[in-house]
Amino acid sequence: MKHILGASVLALLLAACGNETTVDDTPAAPTPPEVEADAGDTAAEPTEVDAAYTVETALAGEWRTAEERARDQYRHPVETLEFFGIEGDDTVIEVWPGGGWYTNVIAPWLNANGGQFIAAVVTPERSERAAQALAAYQANYEAYPDTFGVIEYTYYDAKSGPLGAPDSVDAVLTFRNLHNWMSGDHDDKFFADAYAVLKPGGVLGVVEHRLPSAREQDPSAPTGYVHEDYVKTLAEDAGFVFEGSSEVNANPADTADHPFGVWTLPPVSTTADGDGNTPEGFDAAKYQEIGESDRMTLKFVKPAE
């Protein structure tokens, strides 16, 4: 099944580590499909729930490419999902899944355990780019419901409507996306939308490139790095309670002061600016040695009623 992932090249236009922005000068989006509390019932259920199918089982799946597996050492999906407290029978929204790196882990695991995976993507009417990215992403999964389940879709961008019906999902997750929403000036909207769709007691999990606290935070996050305290403030302003943080995705070797921001590091590994200029003395090997960025991993909870 590895060949299906070739279509993810287009989807990577909206991948979590790229320079993605939403198009804010387009007409308002249509209302996204509602996500009912029992949305898992609409998925292509396995013959029986397979409690032996773990996140580790999904990591070993033949559909994951060598390039994806190379990222495991930096992204720690098993430990990250355990920290967030995600269960196999949960209904989970991943916001801006990009090329599907986490989808290829979470969706099979949820499908095998009676859960439901929902992808929140940029509204395709926003731009041709958004429409192409969505089509490429869908092409990776729709032919394989036995493996990935029937993935449901909703929308998130600067002008999107609700992520789903109020109080309807167990978890909302986002990986390395918040800097994009800061750039588009709708970071507060994300937290409000996530709060509304979560059940009381539901979890918001955020992984983001971490700006050292001694550095000044630009509200548009042009380097891709963000203060932990900034994220906590946004979440708490939306009503969330901070549950805790994990250093599972930390990288002390990342100084967060690179010529092309976080995109200097793998997997993007930028070596020149938009005009094709590379700084004098630039050593690409140094940034490969650093590896992926230093990341905060934060867990927030919607208070139980």
Please determine, for residue 21, whether its predicted confidence score (pLDDT) is greater than 60.
no
Please determine, for residue 18, whether its predicted confidence score (pLDDT) is greater than 70.
no
CATH 3.40.50.150 for domain 2-251+292-301, yes or no, is yes
Q: State the pTM of this model.
A: 0.86
Q: How would you classify residue 53: left for phi > 0, otherwise alpha for psi between -120 and 50, otherwise beta? A: beta
List Cα–Cα distances, 242 to 29, 38, 206, in angstroms.
31, 27, 11
40-91 pLDDT, tens digit per residue, is: 333 344 447 888 999 999 999 999 999 999 999 999 999 999 999 999 999 9
Residue 51 has a pLDDT of 82
Is residue 173 within 8 A of residue 94, CB to CB? The reply is yes
Is residue 269 within 8 A of residue 230, CB to CB? The reply is no
Give the C-alpha separation, 86 to 171, whole Å.
Answer: 7
Long-range contacts of 164-167 (CB under 8 A, 24+ apart): 164/32, 164/33, 164/34, 164/35, 164/39, 164/93, 164/118, 164/197, 165/34, 165/35, 165/36, 165/37, 165/197, 166/196, 166/197, 167/37, 167/197, 167/198, 167/199, 167/200
Which pair of tokens denotes residue 25? 């000068």
Residue 7 has a pLDDT of 35
Give the C-alpha separation, 191 to 235, whole Å.
Answer: 6
269-288 pLDDT, tens digit per residue, is: 999 999 999 999 999 999 99
Residue 25 has a pLDDT of 27
What residues does each domain of the chain span? 2-251+292-301
Residues 6+ apart with CB under 8 A from 257: none
- Nearest Cα neighbor of 197 from 105, 118, 103, 111 is 118
Residues 6+ apart with CB under 8 A from 260: 270, 271, 273
List Cα–Cα distances, 86 to 117, 173, 194, 200, 229, in angstroms.
12, 10, 16, 15, 24
Residue 147 has a pLDDT of 97
Burial of 67 (0-12, 13-18, 19+ CB in 10 A): exposed
Residue 49 has a pLDDT of 86
Residues 6+ apart with CB under 8 A from 263: 17, 18, 19, 224, 269, 270
SS3 label, residue 204: strand
93-124 pLDDT, tens digit per residue, is: 999 999 999 999 999 999 999 999 999 999 99
249-266 pLDDT, tens digit per residue, is: 999 999 999 999 999 999
Mean pLDDT score, 134-148? 97
Residue 26 has a pLDDT of 26
187-240 pLDDT, tens digit per residue, is: 999 999 999 999 999 999 999 999 999 999 999 999 999 999 999 999 999 999
Residue 305 has a pLDDT of 74
Give the C-alpha separation, 176 to 268, whole Å.
Answer: 13
Please determine, for residue 304, whether its predicted confidence score (pLDDT) is greater than 60.
yes
Is residue 55 within 8 A of residue 84, CB to CB? The reply is no
The separation between CA 189 and the C-alpha centre of its own chain, rounded to angstroms, equals 16
The separation between CA 234 and the C-alpha centre of its own chain, rounded to angstroms, equals 17
